[in-house]
Amino acid sequence: MHHQKALAGLALTTALTAGGAQAADIQLMRFFGDCQNEYGSVNDASQANGECGIITALVNEFNATNEGGHTVTVQTADWGAYYDLLTATYQTGNIPDVAVMHSSVMPDFVSRNLLTPLGPLFEQAGIDTADFVPAALQNASANDEVYALPFDLHALLFHINMDLMSQAGFVNEDGTPRLPTSAEEFITMGKQFEEATGQNFIATESQSAEGMMVRFFQSLVWQQGATTLSDDGTSANLTGPEALAAATFVKQIYDEGLADTGLDYAGAEQAFLNGQAGIIINGTWVVDAYNAQAESGSVPLKSYVATNVPALMGEDAVWADSHMWVIPADESRPQEELDAAVAFLTFLNDNNFEWSRTGHLSVRQSVLDSPEFAALPHRTAIANTSQIAHAVPTTQNQRAIYNAIMSEFNSMWLAGAEPQAALDGAQSQVERILRRANRGG
Amino acid sequence: MTAATQTRVLPVAEPRTKVPQSPAKRRDWLTALLFLAPFLVVYLVLLVYPLFLGIWISFRDWDLMGGDYGWIGTLNYQDLWSDPVFWRAAGNTLKFAAMTVPSMTLVALLLALAVQGPGRIRAVCRSIFFLSSVFSVTVVTLVWAMVLSPDRGLIAPVVQFFGGTPFNFLGSPTWAMPAIVVTTLWWGVGLPMALFLASLGSIPKELYEAAELDHASRWSVFWRITLPSIRHTVVLVVVLQIVAQLQIFGQPFLMTQGGPANSTRTLVQYIYETSFRDWLVGYGAAMAMVLFVLMMIFSMLQLWLGRQGDDQ
């Protein structure tokens, strides 16, 4: 009897001292794919691979181990439809408690007060914003307030099949791939490569879905010290000589037959893994996946290396964006769910290293400086990527801007449009979009 | 001609809508209104109100998430005028309808002629041809994307067998649209076929018997009996198809996302992107108004053409 009383007393004391830490069920909305079949029961993030696997395991681990007894339920959306669905939740009222968001998209939401300011909550939870690398903290902030937990910086990379490169004789004495140092050399080397190997020099997504070549184009413009949008994000700058030089080079890659115009994202990956292309232009997010495939021996790609996009038009510079976690604003959200959401963000921040195993660059200086990060495969070759990374200027409607440039660009290699015409078309569309975006809202 | 005109004019001249004065008639009128009410409410709430709201929004800078930024006059329409993607989308939509509507009508009619009448095989064929209509657009586009895929499609091995290189239909600005037309035909031919079947079944047998006695050829039977008898159904099918195909969205959105190089971006997709991706609901509403006017013009034209036949 005394024993029971003591237990009840203990339970009461725990409940009282725990205060706000009442268990809550929260909704997480994200892209990165669905891999419940493979990772649904993995509770240890260090055992998972790839974006989808690691985030799935991180959620499982949080659900299994968090002291507050909180449960995170995941709603996965296809990448192409993700932001439309997230937008819809504000209308239906079924707003998620935590959602993933690109830093390029955040201005749309911040300017309309659709995100919860996180500065004070981070302070309470002990998340040290000073540990974020400056670029990441800047991505997550607006009007001197933090609105997101930065999770990574992701940039464009050259992923290389070293067997094909050595077949073409493009290997340095130290074993690293020899990469072109100018646009002209790129084309010359591409032709030599194709002659020596019989395979395409480049594989990249060339249809209208991802716009990988728009990211490459933006990188080339930055390399020349120019930008595609003005720094304050109010006007387009696509008709300058730098943009023309970059666009002409991109078109030339296709005109010279160095890349297959018919490849979509999956097709480009397949071609690279099948040993049908020397280099695939793709993001940091696939380093872990390609490395694992090459090591497994299940694909013709055997010797895989990742490098920065080389400086082909001047200084080193590459397109980058950032995955971040936000708490969408919802006045009806109970305090315990907000607490649970912050607890989950704290957990994700604590496990930032696990996410950086995907190939993404960590946003935490302490992780970047850690020996375990340096020990990850290929990280020495891309150690300075965050220093050369450029983000698009902060402006609303980045997705519309991106799609407008992408459609015009695709017509260069799919419909024979001239670079100048494509740039003129993109310029007028982006100007129209920016006029709307800067209407004082 | 005159008799037909008179009979048509007469009912219009009758003052039907005037409220009757006597209590009994007024009660009838109220009863009629009561019976009409459910339809009227649905019609007003779901069609008339949204239509006028849409017109009103199209003159405003209306943001999906930020709310109403106020009256901007005809700025949305001026933007449309100078937006090349809008014109491209409008052109693509008209091109799609021009390719789909005649071929859909023709294929549906040919299928209906082939499978009408008694017999088990015909009954099975009727079910099979109609079956594809029950699938959702997601299933249909998934199936056809797989059929057309140059890597793992159904067509690729056939091309390879004859020594050719598989062609990426959906990746070609020239062939992506025809590929979507074929997908739409396969998916949508069931309903117009059913309409033609019903119409063909209601042609009096005596007409065919008389033609047989006259030794009329099969072609002249079709041209002089079948086709004139189902003329109204042809008009109905064409109008329904125009209205449906001008609103094409799911197939290109799922199969090509409007690409390659904008070659399959249609008006509804552009309206969707403008309103729900870019949150510019006012601008999207202006585009929707243009689409509405387009559909109305083509439908009216078609109905008018159908009436011309009646007068002759």
Task: Tell me, yes or no, whether B141 and B238 share the same domain.
Answer: yes
Residue A134 has pLDDT above 70, yes or no: yes
Put simply, the answer to whether B171 touches A441 (Cβ < 8 Å) is no
Task: Tell me, yes or no, whether B66 and B109 share the same domain.
Answer: no
Residue of A nearest to B61 (CA): A436
Residue A209 has pLDDT above 90, yes or no: no
Put simply, the answer to whether A270 touches B151 (Cβ < 8 Å) is yes
Q: Is residue A385 part of a domain?
A: no
Residue B2 has pLDDT above 60, yes or no: no
Residues 6+ apart with CB under 8 A from B119: none
Task: Tell me, yes or no, whether B33 and B169 share the same domain.
Answer: no
CA atoms within 13 A on the CB side of A304: 27
Residue A266 structural domain: 154-321+396-437
What pLDDT sits at residue A17? 44
Task: Tell me, yes or no, whether B99 and B187 share the same domain.
Answer: yes
Q: Is residue A172 part of a domain?
A: yes
Task: Tell me, yes or no, whether B44 and B126 share the same domain.
Answer: no
What pLDDT sits at residue A19? 46
What pLDDT sits at residue B167? 81
| B266: CATH | 1.10.3720.10
Task: Tell me, yes or no, whether A194 and A233 share the same domain.
Answer: yes
Residue A1 has pLDDT above 50, yes or no: no
What pLDDT sits at residue A14? 45
CA distances from B228 to B224, B302, B309 (A): 6, 16, 9
**Dihedral angle sign, alpha carbons of residues A239, A241, A243, A245:** positive
* CA–CA dist A308, A390 (Å, integer): 13
Task: Tell me, yes or no, whether A299 and A277 share the same domain.
Answer: yes
CB atoms within 10 A of CB B5: 10
Residue A148: pLDDT band with limits 50, 70, 90: very high
ipTM > 0.95, yes or no? no
Q: Is residue B192 part of a domain?
A: yes
Nearest by CB to B65, from A114, A264, A403: name it. Answer: A114
Put simply, the answer to whether B278 touches A264 (Cβ < 8 Å) is no
What is the mean pLDDT of the segment spanning A239-253?
95
Number of domains observed in the structure of chain A: 2
What pLDDT sits at residue A381? 85
- Least confident range from A6-15, A49-58, B218-227: namely A6-15
| A352: CATH | 3.40.190.10
What pLDDT sits at residue B19? 58
Give the ranges where A21-161 is alpha helix by DSSP (H).
36-39, 50-65, 82-92, 106-110, 119-125, 134-140
Give chain A positions within 8 Å (CB) of B280: 436
Task: Give the best residue of B278, B280, B281, B287 to mutate against chain A (max A CB count within 10 A).
Answer: B278
What pLDDT sits at residue B303? 81
Task: Tell me, yes or no, whether A104 and A185 share the same domain.
Answer: no
What pLDDT sits at residue A3? 54
Residue B7 has pLDDT above 50, yes or no: no
What is the mean pLDDT of the segment spanning B121-143?
91
Task: Tell me, yes or no, whether B69 and B84 share the same domain.
Answer: no
Task: Tell me, yes or no, whether B96 and B52 share the same domain.
Answer: no
Across A131-145, A320-334, B73-87, the highest mean pLDDT is recorded for A320-334
**Minimal CA separation from B196 to chain A, in Å:** 39
Number of domains observed in the structure of chain B: 2
What tens digit of pLDDT does each residue of A400-409 get? 899 889 988 8
Residue A302 has pLDDT above 80, yes or no: yes
Put simply, the answer to whether B256 touches A208 (Cβ < 8 Å) is yes
Q: Is residue B6 part of a domain?
A: no
Task: Tell me, yes or no, whether B153 and B33 share the same domain.
Answer: no
Task: Tell me, yes or no, whether A235 and A294 share the same domain.
Answer: yes
Residues 6+ apart with CB under 8 A from B201: B116
What pLDDT sits at residue B33? 92
Task: Tell me, yes or no, whether A216 and A76 share the same domain.
Answer: no
What pLDDT sits at residue B84? 87
Task: Tell me, yes or no, whether A185 and A145 share the same domain.
Answer: no
Task: Share the mean pLDDT of chain A.
Answer: 90
Q: Is residue A232 part of a domain?
A: yes
Task: Tell me, yes or no, whether A426 and A291 share the same domain.
Answer: yes
Task: Tell me, yes or no, whether A163 and A309 share the same domain.
Answer: yes
Task: Tell me, yes or no, whether B84 and B53 share the same domain.
Answer: no
Residue B239 structural domain: 80-311
Task: Tell me, yes or no, whether B161 and B62 share the same domain.
Answer: no
CA atoms within 13 A on the CB side of A288: 20
Residue B129 has pLDDT above 70, yes or no: yes
Residues 6+ apart with CB under 8 A from B221: B208, B211
Task: Share the mean pLDDT of chain B.
Answer: 87
What tens digit of pLDDT does each residue of B94-107 get? 999 999 999 999 99
Nearest by CB to B171, from A80, A83, A207: name it. Answer: A207
Residue of A nearest to B86 (CA): A429
Residues 6+ apart with CB under 8 A from B296: none
Task: Tell me, yes or no, whether B194 and B301 share the same domain.
Answer: yes
Q: Three-class SS of residue B44? A: helix
Task: Tell me, yes or no, whether A46 and A175 share the same domain.
Answer: no
What pLDDT sits at residue B299? 82
Residue A12 has pLDDT above 50, yes or no: no
The partner residues of A277 in beta bridges, in order of sequence, read A200
**Dihedral angle sign, alpha carbons of residues A287, A290, A295, A296:** positive
CA distances from A8 to A15, A16, A300 (A): 11, 12, 63
What pLDDT sits at residue B10? 45
Distance from chain centroid for Cα B254: 19
Q: Is residue A82 part of a domain?
A: yes
Between A28 and B64, where is the model more confident?
A28
For chain A, give the longest Cα–Cα distance.
Answer: 88
What tens digit of pLDDT does each residue of A308-317 get? 999 999 999 9
The partner residues of A30 in beta bridges, in order of sequence, read A76
What is the mean pLDDT of the segment spanning A97-126?
94
What is the mean pLDDT of the segment spanning A19-34?
86
Put simply, the answer to whether A209 touches B259 (Cβ < 8 Å) is yes
% of chain A exceeding 90 in pLDDT:
70
What pLDDT sits at residue A4? 54
> Where is the domain boundary, B75, B91, B110?
B75
